[in-house]
Amino acid sequence: MKHIRNFCIVAHIDHGKSTLADRLLEITDTVAKRDMEAQLLDSMDLERERGITIKLTPTRMRYQYKGEEYILNLIDTPGHVDFTYEVSRSLAACEGAILIVDATQGVEAQTLSNAYLAIDNNLEILPVINKIDLPAANVEAVRTEIEQVIGVPAGLAPAISAKNGTNIDQVLEQVIELLPAPTGDENQPLKALLFDCYYNNFLGAVCLVRLFDGKVKVGDKIKMLAAGKEFEVTEVGFFTPKQTPCAELSAGDVGYLCASIKAVSEIKIGDTITSAEQPCLALPGYKEVLPVVFTGIYPIAGDKYGELKDALEKLKLNDASLEFTKETSTALGFGFRVGFLGLLHMEIITERLEREFNLDIITTAPSVSYIVHTVDGRTLNVSNPSNLPKPAEIDYYEEPIVALKMWTPPEYIGALMDLATNKRGVFVDMQHLENNRTLLNFQIPLNEIVYDFFDRMKSCSHGYASLDYEPAGYQTSKLVKMDILLNGKICDALSLIVHESVAYQKGKALAERLKDIIPRQMFEVPIQAAIGGKIIARETVKALRKDVLAKCYGGDITRKMKLLEKQKAGKKKMRMLGNVEVPSEAFVEILKI
């Protein structure tokens, strides 16, 4: 066991985590150079395209050091604020963490939040300063910043260029020298952490596990403690990063096990796996993160409800943070209310539904979870505007607020202050940090930042600012439900909960936006915004005056049909709401108001 190191890499987004992981795989000959694809561990197309890591991929590497062979288990982690949960899961399986800091950017929002997460999990932190090949690199300043801001000694931190492969061996040496080996007893009953799970069509659920005590091999009877289910192990192994079966896994190892687990509901990420005959005590649960953003997801074609359900269940298997419950909308039919960790998480899930499962879906406006107090003294949690009681029954609302931290160079303080206060943020304080950076603290309603706050912050700081937030309770707030009427009928899927002070302005902007988005149709379509039955804005989509292929002679029918088929393909992206065709993007476009 003293030759095993289990570690992860944490960093702010774009500081070079996946690139360093690639270099480690190369230098340990885990992956032949010719098989190297840039960012190997990011196996999803979506991950490569966006340059982000979503799923964890634990990889076993072998490395000779001072005449002895070490097994290094690397667990790659996502870096975006939405995926703190995934980070916390991988941290629970490790003894140490490499903390990468960009030599040109210094400590940023997620550097800090991920470093603290690692420290909270009692991990040994190994700082590494990356991108020393860039002209703007300032290694010494970053060393000082790491020590001052994070409080971790950085004097020995390797200065590397993951891109060029400079000083990568120093990183591996420090992993072996400075990170602790796992402790545990392989003669004790099996005690393993189920920290992630993939779905494989042939094997069923592939459970990613970290063994703390005991051993596991094919044929063993295992028990999932929280789920209370027992299974027989059909395969154990590790990733290289290819799935590689082996004879057994023992205390200290990171690997996978399969046990013919077919039903998604049988798996609980974070569960303790133990021996069915000799159960151990459950491992302490690690930080669970609750979804903060909720949205309705509906199939464009009503008969795809079953497929959507299957797809969400499969995604849920890999993504414990995804929550969904059945929901019915008068406008959109059967669908789901889905809870996400943030907007990026939501975008990724919706994109995966469309790409990997080939589903055309409609996403309704994201909402947060409000507490509604009724006049008769009841308290309700409402995340779907259409589940609100009638206005007369509502006494008052409470909405979730967050403590928002924004790191920025001083020249953008003004713009960021404006942004946050326009979004009903309340300024708390400001701290000047090393490296010409400032930390702004705000209290801000969560629903103001779930839409496009991140993008706006990036654009008003030329990309330099970064943010992080954490829940800070609820506060009483003057909210109203705004309905949108199409052709005189309320379209529940377009309803929003908004702050009273901006309701009129939003209603007007929304009606105008919808007028642009909804194409002309055979009939005139009135669009109205209403609060409690009172119309506050009205626009009209005029009827189509003409939509006809002019001539059809010379016998060229094919071209005409192609034009019509194109028009038909466009229609597929439309959803009928009563008699009105609404493009599916309308539901998301309205958020940008």
Binding residues (CB under 8 A) for another protein: these are 521-523, 544-561, 563-565, 567-568, 571, 579
E strand intervals along 12-153: 58-65, 68-75, 96-102, 124-130
Q: Which is nearer to another protein, 67 or 555 (CB)?
A: 555
Minimum separation from the CB atom of position 548 to another protein (A): 4
**Closer by beta carbon to another protein, 36 or else 543:** 543
Residue 354 CB, shortest distance to another protein, in Å, is: 23
Closest approach, Cβ 551 to another protein, in A, equals 5
What are the C-alpha distances in Å from 110 to residues 11, 150, 465, 485, 534?
A: 6, 12, 12, 42, 45
Smallest gap, in angstroms, from Cβ of residue 526 to another protein? 16
What Rg, from alpha-carbon coordinates, does the chain have? Answer: 27
Nearer to another protein, 301 or 502 (CB): 301
What's the closest the beta carbon of residue 568 comes to another protein, in angstroms? 6
Q: Which residue, 373 or 515, is less far from another protein as judged by CB? A: 515
Dihedral Cα 196, 200, 204, 205, nearest 10 deg: 0
Instruction: Report in angstroms how near the CB of residue 552 gets to another protein at its nearest.
Output: 7
Nearest CA among 128, 106, 139 for reference residue 436: 106
Q: Amino acid identity of 585?
A: E
User: Which residue carries 């001052």 as its tokens?
Assistant: 148
CB of 418 or CB of 556, closer to another protein: 556
Check: CB of residue 323 under 8 Å from CB of residue 294.
Answer: no
Report the distance separating Cα 76 and Cα 96, nearest Å: 12
Tokens, residue 237: 């192994």
Residue closer to another protein, measured from CB, 133 or 565? 565
Residue type, position 420, single letter: A
Q: At its nearest, how many Å lie between another protein and the CB of residue 507?
A: 29
* Least distance between another protein and beta carbon 298 (Å): 21
Judged by beta carbon, residue 483 or residue 581, the one nearer another protein is 581
State the DSSP H helix or E strand holding residue 298, giving kind and residue range, or none if neither.
strand 293-299
Contact 338, 324 (CB under 8 A): yes
- Angle between the N-to-C axes of helices 413-422 and 453-460, in degrees from 0 to 180, rounded to the nearest 10: 160
Closest distance between another protein and the C-beta of residue 541, in Å? 14
- Tell me how far apart the alpha carbons of residues 93 and 502 are, in angstroms, rounded to a whole number: 46
Residues in the chain: 593
- DSSP annotation of 335: E
Helix then strand then coil, in percent of the chain rounded to 5, is: 30, 35, 35
Residue 375 or 564 with smaller CB distance to another protein? 564
Nearer to another protein, 290 or 557 (CB): 557
Of the pair 3, 515, the CB lying nearest another protein is at 515
Degrees to nearest 5, angle at CA 353 with 351 and 358: 105
User: Shortest Cβ distance from residue 576 to another protein (Å)?
Assistant: 10
Closest CA to 364 of 388, 336, 325: 336
Nearer CB in complex with another protein: 242/560: 560
With respect to another protein, which residue has the nearer C-beta, 488 or 555? 555
Eight-state DSSP code of residue 159: B
CB of 352 to another protein, least distance (A): 30
Helices 84-91, 109-120: inter-axial angle, 10-degree rounding: 40
Give dist(CA 552, CA 470) in Å, integer: 63
CA 458 – CA 185 distance, rounded (Å): 49
Q: Which of 57, 52, 5 is nearest to 31 (CA)?
A: 57
- Report the nearest approach of another protein to the CB of residue 360 (Å): 17
- Contact between 193 and 254 under an 8 Å Cβ cutoff? The reply is no
